[in-house]
Every structure is written in C-alpha cells, then in structure tokens.
Amino acid sequence: MTAPAAIAPPPPSRDPVPDGTARMVWNVPSASRPGRTYRVDLLENNGHGRCQCVDHSTRRQPFLDVGGSGFDPRGSCKHVRRTRAFFLENLLKELARQESNPPTP
C-alpha cells in the first residue's frame, strides 16, 4: 500500500490587492521575486498608470513623458497591465452580476 501523496498548498496569489491608502492604488506581488510587491497607481500619468518597478521608471515613464500612451505596450510595465486587467475583469463581473440581479423597487 502506498502512502497518499502530500497535497501541496496552493501557490500564493499574484492578484493585485488594493493598497487602502488611496483610490486606485494597488500592491502587485512580483512574479519572479517572492515577497516583493510593487505599488501601482492606475490614475497617475493622466490615467496611464505608474509603477514603482525599475522597468517602469527606466523604460516606460520616459515613453510616457514624451507623449506616449500607457495603453501602448511600450508605455506600461507588466505590473500596470496586470492591475489594469484585474480591475477591468472584476468591474465587468460586478456589472454582469448587477444586471442579472437588478434591485427590486
């Protein structure tokens, strides 16, 4: 008789988490550095977003500073893109839930 295989705990979530200090500011866990998070503000740069990672400050921000768009891949790091996608997905789910369960008068 073989021993049952150990069940590994689920991997830590990589979903952005609201920062709680300001509207539309999120903490995004690093995909490559466990325990590291990056602060993403989706409203900075006129709604194009800002992240505290090195990629954003050295490559993405200069592109934005000369008029580039944060919706162009050259203008946003993976943390901003992940946060934007997470926010939009959850917003659409909530809107769909509200549409399927309208309030009763």
Give the pTM.
0.81
8: confidence class by pLDDT, cuts 50, 70, 90: low
Which pLDDT does position 32 carry in this prediction? 87
User: Given strand 50-51, what is the order of strands in its sheet?
Assistant: 17-18, 25-29, 37-41, 50-51
Task: Quick: pLDDT tens for 69-90.
Answer: 988 989 999 999 999 999 999 9
Cα–Cα distances in angstroms (integers) from residue 17 to residues 21, 53, 64, 69, 82, in the given order: 12, 16, 25, 24, 11
Average pLDDT, the chain: 88
- Residues pairing with 18 in the sheet: 26
